[in-house]
Chains A and B, each alone.
Chain A
Amino acid sequence: MSYLHEMKEGDSALLMGNEAIVRGALEAGVKVAAGYPGTPSSEIIEGLAKAASGLNIYVEWSVNEKVAMEVAAAASFARLRSICAMKQNGVNVASDFLLHLVGSGVRGGMVLVFCDDPGALSSVNEGDARFFSRLMEMPLLEPGDFQEAKDMTAWAFELSEELKQIVMLRSVTRLSHASGKVTFGPLSDAEGVAEFRFGGDFLDPDEGLMASFPVDWKHRRQQEKVARAREIFETSRFNTYEGPERPELLMITASGCNLYCREAINSLGLEDRVGLLKLGTTWPLPVKLLTKHLSSTDRVMIVEEILPFLEENVKIIAAERAREIGVKTFFGKSEGVFPMMGELNPDLVMAALVSAMGIDCAPPCPEYLETARRTASVAAPVRDQVLCPGCPHRASFFSIRRAMEMDGRRGFVCGDIGCYYMGIRPSGFDAAKTLHSMGSGTGLASGFGKLERFGMIQPAMSVCGDSTFYHAAIPAIINAVHNNSNITIMVLDNKGTAMTGFQPHPGLDHNIMGEEAPEVNLEKICRAIGARVEIRDPFDLEETRETINELMACPDGVKVLILRQVCALSPDRKNIRNFIMKVDENICLGEECGCGRFCTRVFRCPGLIWDKEKGKALIDEVICVGCGVCADICPSQAIRKEEAAQG
C-alpha cells in the first residue's frame, strides 16, 4: 500500500489537511514527533508513525501535551528537526513549558502544530489558540488550503531554524479533516545526528545554556526574533493578493476561511470589484504589506473564525498608520458582520458580501428550502450522539445511576473528557453533572469531598478514562488522598484512547511504533498513592452497582473503582460477537410490562429496538454487537443470550 513517505516528487494525490502536514514534515526531514491525541489533530502523529519505520524517525504518543512539547524540544536542543501536534486546548496544557521555551529559543527547527475546532465539532470548548502567538511572542502560520498545509509545514522548520524560535502552525477542523489535491516535493535525505552542546559561552544560543534565564537578556532576544519574523513575512509567498488594484472592498482572511472567501467572490461574480488578501503569516503581521493593501481602499472586511484575532491586529496597524492610509470602514466581528463564535461557511461570507456591496442576490431556491426544512423537522427526528452499541460506559453509567438512586443522598458524578463525556447526556443516564477539562472531574470531586463541614451531605464521585487518568487525573488523586477528601473515583478503563481512534497510552503493552512497551499499571499507582482500589467488570451490572453503593457509603477517604472492559470499537473486540441475542416474543410483555419498557426506554442501547407492530422489544441484528448486557436488564428475562461460536 502506498503511503505518504512513498509518494514521489511531482506526484499529486488527494490528501487530508492533516496528511498534508505530515508530508510537509517529512519533506523537511523531521526526526522526532510527539503529541497527545485530540480531534482534529490525531492523524498528524499517526501519519508520521506510519512513515517512521521506512524512514529513521522517532514518534511517540506522550502522556500529555506538555510532555509532548518537552520531548520534541529535547530533540530540537540536540539539533534535530522536531514537531509536536495537539488540539486547541492541548496548547493550554503545554503552555507553561511553552512560555519558558520561547524564552530559551530552539536549535533544530521546531514546529508546534495545533488544530482549532471552530464550532466545537468535536470539542467541549471553542478555544482560539492563535492568541498564544501574541501572548508568548512567537510566529504564527496559517495555511489557507491543502497544498499550503504541506508547503507551509515544510517552510516552518526553516523559519524556526533561521529565528532559533519555535514556530506555531494552525489548522482548523475544516482543513485538518477535509481533503484536497496536494502536489509533492522531494523528501529530505538529511541524516539526523543528535548532540546536545553546552560547552560554549553561557549566553551562546548554539552551545550555551538552554533556558529562559537571564530573563531580561533572553526576552530582548525573543523580541528581536519577532521583529525579524515580521521582516521575513513582508515578502512571504504565503501572503497573496488577488483582485483589482483599487478594490471597492478589501477582504483580509487566513486559514480555511480563504476557501469560503474565494467561493463567495466567485459565486457572486465579484472578481473585478473585491480584492482578497490571503495571509499565511498571521503573527506578527507584516506591517508594510498590510499598509500597502489598506491604502488601496476605504472598506475592509476581515474574515476569520472564532475571536477577532486577525481583525484586532489589522486594526492596530490601521490605527497606527491612519495619517498615511486614511480612515477605514471595517466589516468584521466588532461591527457585528460576523459572529465571534461558531464556524463560518461560504453562505455566511456570501451574505456579508451581499450586504457590504449592496448587491441584489436571491438565494438559490427559497421556497424549496422552506418546504425541505419543514419536512425535515417532522420526518427526521433528532439524532443525538449516543454511546456505541455494546459500549462498556453505558453499562457503567447505568450502574452508577442506579447506585446513586439507591443511595438516596442526591449523589452526583463529576464528568470528564472522552467518550464518557456522554455521562452528561441521556445516553449516559444524565449521571454526570459537571464537565470541564482533562482530569478535572477528579479535581472537582476532590474539592466537593471537603465540603462536609459546610453541611454538604451529597456524596461526590468522578469518572475518568484510562488515557485521561495518565494525562491529568493522577495529581488530582494525590491531592484527594493527601487532603483526606472523601470521594469515589471511577476509572472507566476500556484499554485505549477510544474517542480519538484507539491510540495507545502508558497503560498498554505497546506503543504507536508497534513496539512492545512496559505497561504502567493503573491500580498499582492508585494503591501507591494510598487509595482503596477495587476492580469490576461493568458488564456485571449487579456486582458493579453493589460495589458502588458500598464505596459511596464508606467514609474512609479516596476509593478508586476501576471498571474494566474493552471498548466496543477496539480492534480487540470489533467484529467479535460474544453472544447471539434474541428477544423471546412470548415472554416479552411489551407495553404491558410493569418495567415501563426498561430495555428500550431506559437502557437505550441502539442495538435493542422496538417493534411497533408487535409492540415488543427486538434485537437489530445489524447494530447489536452481542455484548450480552441487556439480557440482565429485562425483569422477565425475555432477552436471551446464547454463546456465539467463535472462529
Chain B
Amino acid sequence: MNVKTPGKDPYNIIITGVGGQGNVMASRILANMLVEKGFDVTIGETFGASQRGGSVMSHIRVSRMGTWSPQIPEGRADIVAALEPIESFRVLARYGNPSVRVLANTRPIYPATVIAGESSYPELTEIRELIEKLSARAWFLDITGEALKLGNPILSNIMMIGALSALEDIPLDREDFAKVIARTFPEGKREDNMRSFDLGLEMMRSA
C-alpha cells in the first residue's frame, strides 16, 4: 500500500467546536481512519461538562513514532477544523502558526453573552478576513446549511471529515471511512454518514 505520509511527525490536527456538535465523535472517526493507514494516533480531548454548550477541542496527533502527549504544544497545529467559526480563534491563539491551515464551518452558534446583548459576535466577512490573516490557507464552508438539507444538523461533523479528506497531505480516504463507520454505527445509520462524507468532500472540492 502506498501510504501518503504527513510531512511532519507528529502531524497535529485540532478539531474544535461547541459542546453538542459531535466533536468527540469526529475526532475518534478521523483518528481511526488514520489508524487504518498504519499510523500511531494519540487523541486528547476534554468532554463531560462540555456537552453543556462550552468550547470543546480535540487534539489529534498522527505519527510513525508511537504515542505523544495528548496536548499539542503551543504554536504547533498543522490543521484546524472548526465546526463553529469563532472557535478557530481560540485555537489559533494558542496553537496557531503562520503555516497553519483552517477549515471552518460558517454557521455560528451564539454564546449566551451574545444572545443577551452583552458582547458582540463578528460578522462573517470579518471572521473570514481575520482567519485568512492568521493562516496559510483557509476554507469556509456552510456545512451546517447543507447538513440541514440532509435533514440532520448533527451530520455536520461527518461532513467535516469528508471535507478534510480533500486535503492532499492527510491520508484520509473513503474506504477507511466506510470501514470505521461500519464498526461505529448500526446498519441503518451508515448510508446517511456515507452521503454526508461525500457531500463534505464535494463542498471542499468546489470551494
A145 within 8 A of B: yes
B57-100 vs A, CB cutoff 8 Å, 1 = contact: the mask equals 00000000011111111111000000000110110111011100
Residues on B with C-beta less than 8 A from A376 are 89-90, 92-93
Residues on A with C-beta less than 8 A from B122 are 379
Residues on B with C-beta less than 8 A from A178 are 42-45, 70
> Contact between B32 and A14 (Cβ–Cβ < 8 Å)?
yes
Interface residues of B in 97-116 (CB under 8 A from A): 97-98, 107, 109-116
Q: How many residues of A contact B (CB 8 A)?
A: 70
Residues on A with C-beta less than 8 A from B188 are none
Q: Please give the distance in Å from B31's CB to the nearest CB on chain A.
A: 6
Residues on A with C-beta less than 8 A from B75 are 363-365, 368-369
B201 within 8 A of A: no
Residues on A with C-beta less than 8 A from B93 are 369, 372-373, 375-377, 380
Residues on B with C-beta less than 8 A from A426 are 112, 116
Contacting B121 at CB < 8 Å: which of A121, A145, A381?
A: A381
Surface stretch bound by B, among A485-493, A558-566, A604-612: A604-612
Contacting B53 at CB < 8 Å: which of A262, A385, A499?
A: A385
Residues on A with C-beta less than 8 A from B153 are 622
Residues on A with C-beta less than 8 A from B47 are 122, 177
> Contact between A372 and B112 (Cβ–Cβ < 8 Å)?
no
User: Nearest chain-A residue to B51 (Cβ)?
Assistant: A569
Interface residues of B in 102-146 (CB under 8 A from A): 107, 109-117, 119-122, 126-127, 130, 133-134, 144
A419 within 8 A of B: yes
A434 within 8 A of B: no
Residues on B with C-beta less than 8 A from A107 are none
> Contact between A179 and B28 (Cβ–Cβ < 8 Å)?
yes
B3 within 8 A of A: no
Residues on A with C-beta less than 8 A from B72 are 346
A348-392 vs B, CB cutoff 8 Å, 1 = contact: the mask equals 001000000000000111001101110111011111111110000
Residues on B with C-beta less than 8 A from A125 are none
> Contact between A260 and B71 (Cβ–Cβ < 8 Å)?
yes
> Contact between B97 and A385 (Cβ–Cβ < 8 Å)?
no
Residues on B with C-beta less than 8 A from A173 are 46
User: Nearest chain-B residue to A387 (Cβ)?
Assistant: B52
Residues on A with C-beta less than 8 A from B76 are 364
Report the bound CA distance from A40 to B46 in whole Å: 9
A13 within 8 A of B: yes
B7 within 8 A of A: no
User: Nearest chain-B residue to A608 (Cβ)?
Assistant: B115
B18 within 8 A of A: yes
Contacting B74 at CB < 8 Å: which of A14, A364, A385?
A: A364
Interface residues of A in 52-83 (CB under 8 A from B): none
Residues on A with C-beta less than 8 A from B133 are 371, 375
Residues on A with C-beta less than 8 A from B52 are 385-388, 419, 422
Q: Please give the distance in Å from A357's CB to the nearest CB on chain B.
A: 17
User: Nearest chain-B residue to A350 (Cβ)?
Assistant: B73
Report the bound CA distance from A180 to B66 in whole Å: 9
Report the bound CA distance from A121 to B117 in whole Å: 28
B183 within 8 A of A: yes
Residues on A with C-beta less than 8 A from B19 are 385
> Contact between A609 and B46 (Cβ–Cβ < 8 Å)?
no
Residues on B with C-beta less than 8 A from A508 are none
Interface residues of A in 154-185 (CB under 8 A from B): 173-175, 177-181
Contacting A380 at CB < 8 Å: which of B28, B41, B89, B144?
A: B89
B49 within 8 A of A: yes
Q: Please give the distance in Å from A3's CB to the nearest CB on chain B.
A: 9
Report the bound CA distance from A602 to B115 in whole Å: 10
A612-647 vs B, CB cutoff 8 Å, 1 = contact: the mask equals 000000001111000000000000000000000000
User: Nearest chain-A residue to B93 (Cβ)?
Assistant: A376
A222 within 8 A of B: no
A95 within 8 A of B: no
> Contact between A181 and B41 (Cβ–Cβ < 8 Å)?
yes
A484 within 8 A of B: no
User: Nearest chain-A residue to B66 (Cβ)?
Assistant: A181
Q: Known contacts A14-B43, A376-B93, A386-B53: does B117 contact A601 (CB below 8 Å)?
A: yes
Residues on A with C-beta less than 8 A from B53 are 383, 385-388, 606
A437 within 8 A of B: no
> Contact between B44 and A384 (Cβ–Cβ < 8 Å)?
no
Residues on A with C-beta less than 8 A from B126 are 379
Contacting B73 at CB < 8 Å: which of A179, A346, A372, A609?
A: A346
Contacting B51 at CB < 8 Å: which of A369, A388, A622, A623?
A: A388
> Contact between B49 and A499 (Cβ–Cβ < 8 Å)?
yes
> Contact between B119 and A381 (Cβ–Cβ < 8 Å)?
yes
Residues on A with C-beta less than 8 A from B90 are 376, 380
Residues on A with C-beta less than 8 A from B31 are 14, 179
> Contact between B97 and A604 (Cβ–Cβ < 8 Å)?
no
Q: Known contacts A381-B121, A608-B115, A622-B107: does B130 contact A181 (CB below 8 Å)?
A: no
What would 11 A/B residue contacts be, using CB atoms closer than 8 Å? Answer: A263-B73, A346-B71, A347-B74, A368-B75, A369-B93, A372-B93, A375-B92, A377-B93, A383-B111, A426-B116, A622-B107
A residues adjacent to B (C-beta < 8 A): 1-2, 13-14, 39-40, 121-122, 145-147, 173-175, 177-181, 256, 259-260, 262-263, 267, 345-347, 350, 363-365, 368-369, 371-373, 375-377, 379-388, 419, 422, 426-427, 499-500, 569, 597, 600-602, 604, 606, 608-610, 620-623
Q: 5 new A-B pairs (CB below 8 Å) besides A260-B71, A380-B90?
A: A174-B70, A382-B113, A383-B18, A386-B52, A602-B116
Shortest beta-carbon contacts, A-B, top 4: A39-B48, A178-B70, A364-B75, A122-B48
